Structure 1
Amino acid sequence: AEQDRLKDQQGAASPTVPGPRSSLTERIFAEFLVGSANAQNTQAARTDEISIVLKPGQGAEVKLSMVKGSKADFSWTVSGGVVNFDLHGDGGGQETSYEKGRGAASDQGTITAAFDGNHGWFWRNRGTSDVTVTLKATGSYADIKRMI
């Protein structure tokens, strides 16, 4: 009787309780979820240029919103003088300094975000006349914003 019951169940519709998944199904499911999560962390490449006039003694800060490991190429120049600068990052209770300089007329390089957060520059004009700082950035960041 038990064997007949099992035969009848095999011929009937599948039970609504899911059975164990095959390893192929698990891999496809995992790839779909992991792929989606990675896509959310990937920021599209963009390019921005911003110019800021600094009066004598004035400072300004510009930051890129970046996820950990993302990169942005940058170059900035000063017309009318030189500035002191601090290239740094902050976010989620973390802070880091990438580079500092005094009396600089320009700088260029690549920022690799050490953690999720805001990464960018603080410039201060220690001269006696107005200067203009022009920043060009290209890379994987969500936003560029003037903080100060």
Structure 2
Amino acid sequence: MEPAPKQEPRVPPSSDAVPTAKFLQARITALSTTLIKRLENIFAAALDDAPTQTAAGNPSAPPSLTETSVQQFQLDVESTAVIRAAEEIMMLTRTMKEIWLFGGLDTLAADHGGKDMNGQNEAAQKKMAEDVRIVEEGFRKFLAKYETSLDLDGER
């Protein structure tokens, strides 16, 4: 069993503090790593003591009561840690939703930093208009191809 990853810095306790993107990314990485490591530990504990065959073809002796108890304890500890990590991930997603909903997360400022937003909007509008025209043309071809069969189905 390996030790849990080290804890990342906490958000300052002030009520106005909004976590930075760097902090949120570090938290996501730490929680993901913890969850994966705990699952690996569960599989290692569960599969490590599987009955194996010796070179002579005889099965090995079944595990003792002590070995079974230790394995069960390890599985209990690791499964509790998996649940705790999943709960922390849920709390983090709830925090991120609150930040996003209540305006603390400005996702557009970094994307448009120092660039001509009007030029980007024009390019995006042209691209969208072209995409709409292509979809409309495809839909008209579809209707032209199947319009007769659709009318016949409706008359029956």
TM-score range normalised by the length of the shorter chain: under 0.3
TM-score, L = length of structure 1? 0.22
- Pick the structure with more strand per residue: 1
- The structure showing larger relative contact order (alpha-carbon pairs under 8 Å, at least 6 residues apart) is 1
Greater Rg by CA: 2
- Pick the structure with more helix per residue: 2
